Amino acid sequence: MTARDESTPRPTRNTPRGTPAGGAQDLEKTAELLGRVRAGDPAAQNALVSRFLPLLQRWARGRLPHTARDLAETDDLVQVSFLRALRRIDSFEPRREGAFLAYLRRILLNAIREQYRQSATRGGAENRFAVDGRPESGPPALDARTLEAYESALERLEEHQREAVILRLEFKYSYAQIAEAINSPSEDAARMVVKRALVRLAGEMQSGPEAP
């Protein structure tokens, strides 16, 4: 077990744990919290962690290889990554909640890849990850090559499409929650964004990146 950074913020007891935002008021609160975090408000930082940390913990538990999970507790890795993200918050423009969660995911994914490389160097890492962030009892995991194709294809989507795919497939947001998170006008509109994004994602994964 790794030692936790004492400066790592922890979820407060008064905030629902791991509940995706469900309305415009929540989106306003997220933007407000980010502003207060920039101003150095520790209470806002704790509130932001309470909102998003449990989501990221569940997501990471389905991504981290078994051997890496033995080397460092998933929750510790998530907390360290979250703290890293908060330290860089001045470079992030909070356009919408979907963008913020995608930003957190990217930082955490980089940390997970580093854990994977370290465990692979030791000769024990399994070459398998779960694309949708579910635990091992869920659908079959995909090999690293397929996962990299998925991540590469995601990067070639338009920003709002990428956020919609991540929120739906990986964080299990409802269409109503996605609509709020990506500033879509309605639940049906969000559903259409996801549908079109998935079609494009499949095409991008099949064709691969264009040659320079």
Instruction: Please provide residue 129's backbone torsions phi and psi, each rounded to the nearest 5 degrees.
Output: -135, 160
Q: What is the pLDDT of residues 123-148, one digit of tens each?
A: 554 444 444 444 333 334 556 678 88
For residue 3, what pLDDT is reported?
43
- Residue 23, pLDDT > 60, answer no
On average, the pLDDT of the chain sits at 76
Contact predicate 154/162, CB 8 Å: yes
For residue 136, what pLDDT is reported?
38
Q: Is residue 100 classed as helix, strand or coil in its secondary structure? A: helix
CA angle 177-179-183, nearest 5°? 125
- Residue 32, pLDDT > 70, answer yes
- Residue 208 to residue 149: CA distance in whole angstroms: 7
Q: Is residue 93 classed as helix, strand or coil in its secondary structure? A: coil
Better-scored residue on pLDDT, 21 or 89 = 89
List of domains in the chain: 21-125+134-139 (1.10.1740.10), 142-207 (1.10.10.10)
For residue 177, what pLDDT is reported?
93
Provide, rounded to the nearest whole percent, the portion of the chain with pLDDT above 90: 25
Q: What is the pLDDT of residues 67-110, one digit of tens each?
A: 555 545 778 888 888 888 888 888 887 677 888 889 899 998 88
- Residue 55, pLDDT > 70, answer yes
- Residue 172 to residue 170: CA distance in whole angstroms: 6
For residue 157, what pLDDT is reported?
96
